[in-house]
């Protein structure tokens, strides 16, 4: 493959530079962007921007433009400041409006239960622990479907946490760095009872609910206690298509979420559905147990209830609900800001049920994917 070179570069108006490359592409760059992005403005060791944007005029002007013998473009400026230098491949790769390539950018695959009728994708604990390629394969599946199972976890306690730590540090919450889902005598959370848990996402009362959740099954020999999962993005998309008014209501109305016990009273107002800047679904916050008293005015409260009940009804639709029974040595890994999880009630008189849980946030997850990709 031949290398790209500069074939021409000249001012375009007063505040832009038109560049032509040997592959025929012509790209126009803002002069302010060139000053701000010039690789020489970044610290050689930390890689952070050292350049002070206010050290240059509001409307910087070019003094001279030339291609150097080594193939780089040199820009000299009218103001008192160092010249800027750009390699052709670098400048060609950073066209206006084009984000960096991102090894963590896995396309979401929305699913209904039938699509995962053989269960979520399975990955082996030992491989994840010992092999970076296996770790990456697990992360890709977990991000794509939002849900996978890790099997063959030996031991209890630290064993599954070591797998989560292969991704990144654990997200601590008011329930601790890790938590034990067992039937407790003095529960501060419905998960710590033997009751059924309707489909939900965890910690909706937090400013940012934890990203990925890991539930390692230690014991599951009581009657009942089956697990259920559903793709919140898939359900939200169905709502968006079938009842856009309800979708918009859930995406724009802030509702109060609250957890409180003897030590904490953690509250936040947030919408059930969060969209990103491109209006794609970014997050579902759905936990009926943690919705505080709705404080909407009379004019909007019934419209909100209609929308919320429409989404809630989708969570009860068997087409979305993937049910299976977790076995000891298995761990579910899922995006807690996308996938809803729940369980059937269990009968503690017939045996024990114990899941060991922890969280790793989305940004740490994505960071690990990028570092694994960079190491090749």
Pick the closer one to ligand OGA by CB: 92 or 339. 339
Site string for Zn ion, 266-305 (x = CB under 5 A): ----------------------------------------
Pick the closer one to ligand OGA by CB: 28 or 350. 350
Pick the closer one to ligand OGA by CB: 91 or 257. 257
Residue 181 binding result from ligand OGA, Zn ion, none, given CB thresholds of 5 to 8 Å by partner type:
ligand OGA
Establish if 202 lies at the interface with ligand OGA (CB under 6 A).
yes
- Tokens found for residue 181: 């889902």
Site string for ligand OGA, 71-110 (x = CB under 6 A): ----------------------------------------
Residue 228 binding result from ligand OGA, Zn ion, none, given CB thresholds of 5 to 8 Å by partner type:
none
Pick the closer one to ligand OGA by CB: 60 or 357. 357
Pick the closer one to ligand OGA by CB: 41 or 224. 224
Establish if 227 lies at the interface with ligand OGA (CB under 6 A).
yes
Question: If you count them, how many residues does the chain have?
Answer: 376
Phi, psi of 28 (to 5 degrees): -110, 130
Smallest gap from residue 218 Cβ to Zn ion (A): 16
Pick the closer one to ligand OGA by CB: 215 or 250. 215
CB 135 within 8 A of CB 143: no
Candidates 31, 153, 197, 322; binder of ligand OGA (CB under 6 A) is 197
- Tokens found for residue 204: 């909706």
Pick the closer one to ligand OGA by CB: 35 or 197. 197
Candidates 35, 149, 153, 191; binder of ligand OGA (CB under 6 A) is 191
Smallest gap from residue 201 Cβ to Zn ion (A): 7
* 3-class secondary structure per residue, the chain: CCCCCEEEEEEECCCEEEEEECCCCEEEEEHHHHHHHCHHHECCCCCCECCCHHHCCCCCCEEEEEECCCCCEEEEECCCCCCEEECHHHHHHCCCCCCCCCCCCCCCCCCCHHHHCCCCEEEEHHHHHHCHHHHHHHHHHHHHHCEEEEECCCCCCHHHHHHHHHHCCCCCECCECEEEECCCCCCCCHHHCCCCEEEECCCCCCCCCCCEEEEEEEEECCEECCEEEEEHHHHHHHHHHHCHHHHHHHHHCCEEEEEECCCCEEEEEECCEEECCCCCEEEECCCHHHECCCCCCHHHHHHHHHHHHHHHHHHCCCCCCEEECCCCCCEEEEECCCEEEEECCEECCCCCEEEEEEEECHHHHHHHHHHHHHHC
Pick the closer one to Zn ion by CB: 161 or 228. 228
Whole-angstrom distance, CA of residue 37 vs CA of residue 94: 9
Candidates 337, 341, 356, 368; binder of ligand OGA (CB under 6 A) is 341
Site for Zn ion in 176-205 (CB under 5 A): 202
Smallest gap from residue 306 Cβ to Zn ion (A): 26
Candidates 170, 181, 333, 339; binder of ligand OGA (CB under 6 A) is 181
Establish if 355 lies at the interface with ligand OGA (CB under 6 A).
yes
| List of residues contacting Zn ion (CB under 5 A) | 202
Q: Which residues bind ligand OGA (CB under 6 A)?
A: 181, 191, 197, 202, 227, 341, 343, 355, 357
């Amino acid at each position: 493959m031949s290398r790209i070179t500069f074939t021409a570069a000249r001012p375009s108006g007063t505040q832009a530079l038109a560049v032509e490359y040997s592959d025929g592409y012509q790209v126009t760059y803002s002069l302010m962007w060139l000053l701000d992005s010039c690789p020489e403005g970044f610290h050689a060791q930390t890689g952070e921007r050292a350049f002070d944007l206010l050290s240059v005029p509001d409307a910087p002007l070019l003094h001279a433009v030339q291609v150097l013998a080594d193939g780089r473009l040199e820009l000299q400026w009218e103001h008192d400041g160092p010249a800027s230098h750009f390699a052709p491949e670098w400048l060609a790769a950073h066209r206006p409006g084009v984000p960096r390539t991102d090894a963590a950018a896995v396309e979401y695959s929305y699913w209904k239960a039938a699509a995962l009728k053989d269960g979520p994708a399975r990955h082996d604990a030992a491989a994840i622990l010992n092999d970076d390629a296996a770790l990456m394969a697990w992360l890709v599946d977990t991000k794509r479907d939002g849900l996978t199972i890790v099997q063959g976890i030996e031991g209890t306690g630290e064993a599954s946490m070591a797998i989560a730590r292969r991704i990144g540090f654990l997200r601590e919450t008011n329930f601790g760095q890790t938590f034990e889902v067992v039937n407790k005598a003095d529960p501060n959370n419905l998960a710590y009872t033997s009751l059924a848990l309707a489909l939900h996402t965890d910690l909706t009362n937090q400013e940012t609910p934890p990203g990925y959740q890991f539930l390692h099954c230690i014991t599951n020999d009581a009657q009942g206690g089956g697990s259920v999962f559903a793709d919140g993005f898939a359900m939200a998309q169905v709502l968006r298509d079938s009842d856009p008014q309800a979708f918009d209501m859930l995406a724009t109305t802030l509702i109060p979420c609250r957890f409180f016990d003897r030590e904490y009273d953690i509250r936040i107002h947030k919408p059930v559905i969060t969209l990103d800047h491109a209006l794609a679904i970014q997050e579902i916050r759905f936990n009926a147990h943690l919705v505080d008293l709705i404080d909407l005015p009379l004019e909007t409260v019934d419209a909100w209830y209609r929308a919320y009940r429409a989404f809630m009804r989708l969570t009860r639709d068997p087409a979305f609900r993937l049910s299976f029974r977790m076995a000891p040595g298995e761990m579910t890994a899922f995006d807690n800001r996308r996938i809803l999880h729940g369980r059937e009630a269990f009968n503690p008189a017939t045996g024990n049920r114990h899941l060991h849980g922890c969280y790793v946030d989305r940004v740490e997850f994505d960071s690990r994917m990028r570092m694994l990709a960079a190491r090749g």
